[in-house]
Amino acid sequence: MGKKKSTKLYRYRSMNSENLSRIFTHCELYFAKPKEFNDPFDCQPPFSINNYSENDLREHFENAYKSECPEICDAKRKAIIEKRIEAISNNKYLFKLEIIDPFIKRY
């Protein structure tokens, strides 16, 4: 059974022909940077990861990467996961990891 397909398309930038074309020709969606949001609370989700141990987070990320990015070798996946956990432990924003994280780039 395949993944459920979304029935909605949300507009986060103008739907001019170039932007619309890139959605279908390059499978590319635009996600605004948090500093571009018009609502300051959009970047402050009402949940906390402080209730989870590093092992819980590691297991969650491991399952997510195996499922969503199966092409990543074990060593690279473990390195990415450790960077994410380190960022969480140091209270760094997760979006700064997009440089090293193929999961964030893809989704």
Q: What is the pLDDT along the chain (107 residues), one digit of tens a residue?
A: 566 776 665 556 677 788 778 778 877 777 777 677 777 666 666 556 667 788 888 998 899 888 888 888 999 999 988 988 887 777 655 544 444 455 555 54
- In this structure, is residue 64 part of a structural domain? yes
**Residue 92 forms part of a structural domain:** yes
Q: Are residues 73 and 98 in the same domain?
A: yes
- Host domain of residue 84: 53-107
Q: Do 70 and 89 sit in the same domain of this protein? A: yes
Neighbours of 75 (CB within 10 A): 8
107 and 62 housed in the same domain: yes
Give Cβ neighbours of residue 95 (< 8 Å, ≥ 6 apart): 33, 34, 104
Q: Is residue 62 part of a domain?
A: yes
- Looking at the 3D structure of the chain, how many domains does it have? 2
Of the candidates 90, 25, 10, 81, which has an alpha carbon nearest to the alpha carbon of residue 100?
Answer: 81
pTM (2 d.p.): 0.45
- Clarify whether residues 28 and 73 are in a common domain: no
